[in-house]
Structure 1
Amino acid sequence: EKAAALSLSLLSCRQFCVTEVATRPGRISAQEDFLPTQLEHLHIAQFKAGDFTGAVQTLRSFLLFYPSDKDSLDNLQLYLETLGGDKDSHDTQPAQEIVRYISESLEEKKLLYFGVENLDFSFTDPDLWTPEDVVPESIRDAWRAEKEKLSEKIEDGNQLEEVDDSGFFAGGAVPQVGVTLSMDDEALNGTNRVVLDGVMTEAECGSILQLASVAASVGDGYRGRRSPHTPHETFEGLTVLRAVKLSQEGLVNQSDARLLHELGERVKTLLHSYFRSPSGLFISFTHLVCRSAVTGDQEGRLDLSHPVHVDNCLLEPETKQCWREPPAFTHRDLSAILYLNDNFDGGEAFFTKRDAKTVTAQVKPSCGRLLGFSSGPVNPH
């Protein structure tokens, strides 16, 4: 069984090679249908340049992906008519590299879908051109059911709330021993949301809390403003860089600074796997944060610890639009909160609809609990 899982993982990796090629620098999502799209552009360019034989070969290569595409079949007829009586050009076959690629890819897909159906293997097909008959009927039935649910949501006017085009797909593996999945999309009533428990031990939580008590600075990251989000709470923070500098000066334990950095990498690994990231993830910012209620200033509070917002765009609740422009963190794709303790009142994270009022889910803090979610407009919080 382990050998089968390893073999399937290798095949899955091979299937996703095309997405690596199809991902432009600075982007997280691959261009859809990359190879067929390149062939489509190429045969048109060849025809316009007068390379009719090359256009026929490229178009026949494209038709291996989509053999019944009417526009392409019409174009092929046009190209052949343009060639006239040139029999050799008429007989031009698809590029052998494409023939071989498709043949190997389809054999791999058959094995992978067998694993999905019979061995509980997780595989998300990166290609749009995969023929239906390659996919087992039971899996196609499940897809149809999901599509019907999505159609119902769209008909109900919830498309903006439910559809996430970030390129992430929740439900991947949890690769760290001892970490458990506590809440998924269904439990959190949303898209690309997850709660994982056991990411830190009690001892690790204690070490980081001690580090915060010694080294966190008031208003860190907010130009020293003591209460940047609400006058009823104070805000303290510590970056990894500052923790390292303090450890070099002997003011904090090097092991604690190292642990703070390692926790960021741990979270990155977990979210990369669970959200099935189509490309590598890179940490943009790790911030150790302490929020403390101002004593004697809590009675009758109506404000929030942090106003409802979206991380990578500017939420406009009145219109339910989200504008991807500064000062939002437009570069951010995934967000995460790793909790250290729960010995206080309140502190729950919550998600809302785009109106910033309708709460859809809540998450209580506890040591080692990780809340992860895609940073776009489907996840106001």
Structure 2
Amino acid sequence: MLLILASASVAAPSTAVSVAFRVVGIGFLCLSGANQVFGRTKFVSDKKMKAASVRSWLSLVVGAHLAFLLLAAAFHGQWVEFILYGFGLTLLAIAVIVTSVAVPREIVTVSVLFSLGFVVIASFAYGLTTPEVAVAGIRLRGLTANANTLGFYAFLLGSLALIVVRHSVLKFTLLFFAGAVLLWTSSRASILAFAIVVLFVVLSRLSTTVVLAVLGATGAAAVAALMSPNTLSILDGVFRGDESRALSLTGAINAFRSSPLVGIGLANEEFEIASSPLRALAYAGIGGLLAVSVMWGAFIWHARTAGIQAVGFTAAAVVHSCFEGWLLSPISPLLLIFILAWWVIVRPVPGLSSKSSNQRQASYANPRKMIPWDRARPRLAIAAWP
């Protein structure tokens, strides 16, 4: 996973190196799955249940993505792009299937948290020690190619820390770095998405203590912002008044008007469109927008079986994709790392039906009332869903 994330970092100075990192990283994911299947079968006794669960949503996501590529690339004669993106989609599907079905939940959870945590924390340290390289203007980009990518990783890390991590010290450590990096990157889409996750988590665990803690943290942040000039300079980036999203909307509308049914093809827009639904509408017309809606629906429909927090995280990702184009880019690491992080949160628990999801969440909110299955096996210290 670190190699996959490194493919969109300063460690990949060229496209060829970036692709090589990604292919090797996905290859290691597949090898780890094969090792579990052939070497440690006790971990995959529930693989049929996992495969059925993955098939219920991944087939819709991959099918909708393929339909988008057919309309946006193949229909417009962009066969090189269609083959490239199709190859990326194939690798994505293989990595998700192998990782989700064959690799134990504990290993996936630790791997996702470690890889995201390493990039976010190392980027924060890089920004402090070498700001002339790691900071673009007032926005931290750290080890990644741009600030928005790092902000997306911080959003995923913070969400996992809230929903999955149980250990208090580790939880607050990860939340501290995720929050600090979110502010420093000034990625408004990621900040908004994380705020949605926080809202759902608070609602699902509503108590006087939680409300007071949130209000206290908000008040402390407000006081620090008023007293510290450096904090205010960072917040200037969050509340900046640039027109980047307005240009995306204008470009998408112009492209749609010129070809509403089949779009204008991949990357033929006048202005770069930084939004998955708007990009789909511009590239593939109404059919492209329908494909994005199917992908959204597949994620949300499956997340409902895992409880309110999983739905909240999925809804936050949907909102984030309205401002960024990662949902339609199978060749980038962003979609893959999102799916793996999402699967850590929503994947089924062996021996526990979906009807028991509310009981399961209640048990994590109150560890003294663990369900029998949870007491019957050792628990991973950092995972809220063993």
TM over 0.5: no
Bigger relative contact order, structure 1 or 2 (CA pairs below 8 A, ≥6 apart): 2
| CA radius of gyration, larger in | 1
Task: Calculate the TM-score normalised by the size of structure 2.
Answer: 0.22
Point out the structure with the larger helix share: 2
Higher strand share: 1
TM-score between both structures, scaled by the size of structure 1 = 0.22
